[in-house]
Structure 1
């Protein structure tokens, strides 16, 4: 069976919820994944597996729960899909403002009526685009000032986790190097 490189995004890491990266690398390696690497202490890992995305997500979730007590959503994308997420970025501002452009991996493609509801909330300076299971967000005033971003998940009625443009590129480099 062929090997695939995956990017694994843990939702809700930071603040009171920590996920020690050294332990995470060990747990994933002992769990049968190869080429495990982590990026900063905020819930990002890359690994190689011979199974598909859903199996990797389930296995990582089970390992994180049983070995580390972590029980939040986990999003998984293949390196090929990650590359497509980067190539599909509709906001060229990312090159000059990498912390103002964010890419969200969603658990599934949102329903059309939920997307319409989200569009109705986008009344400020922020812009967003959805393509399949990916949501791109531009926050020209900064994520910390956004009143829109905290309402996205609740409005779309699905789980998601986002990374800024700088992290997107760093995770791609890390995955390519493995």
Structure 2
């Protein structure tokens, strides 16, 4: 068993409702232990059995079978999340304006070039390995850049958490 920070993309947004108690139960049914969630947005910390990627795919399938919608699952070790937090390349004025998007894979050079063609104004983003770091000048609720278009151009699934949430998840993982 290895401790993982497991992140589900776009949970409890619109019609995709997934109670955290149900998420904990599904993870436990898949063999995870010491299962904890943080806020109702698809953040799970648990000791997962076997290969983490296999667990992630099984969790995706179990959520889809039970709730009828697919959500990408991306997980990292606590050390990987801690490293991503420390690698944030931008000055943090407000932690809630700065995000780490955990990507399913590293984007290609061509995808990065395409994503860099989008205007960002005072917002900033940079990919470091398998994470995209973002700093919104005025907050995610008032973005100056088209983050969704940039994400699509990168060509890999990802799920974003603000730095407050990332820090809390690292703390929960121990």
- Normalised TM-score (structure 1): 0.90
| Whole-angstrom distance in 1 between the partners of 2:21 and 2:163 | 24
| Partner residue, 1:74 | 73
| Partner residue, 1:10 | 8
Whether 1:99 aligns to 2:92 is no
| Partner residue, 1:112 | 109
1:117-176: CA deviations, max 9, x gaps? 212214410111111110000101111121321212211122111001111011111111
Using the TM superposition, give the Cα deviation of residue 26 of structure 1 relative to its aligned residue in structure 2, in angstroms: 1.4
Tell me, which stretches of 5 or more residues in structure 2 are unaligned?
Answer: none
Aligned with 2:152 (options 146, 151, 154):
154
- Normalised TM-score (structure 2): 0.92
Structure 1 or 2: larger helix share?
A: 1
Count of residue pairs the alignment pairs up: 172
| Whole-angstrom distance in 2 between the partners of 1:50 and 1:69 | 25
Alignment root-mean-square deviation, CA: 1.5
| Whole-angstrom distance in 2 between the partners of 1:34 and 1:70 | 25
Whether 1:168 aligns to 2:157 is no
After superposition, residues 31-50 of structure 1 pair within 5 angstroms as 31-50=30-49
Conservation of the 8 A alpha-carbon contact between 1:27 and 1:67: no
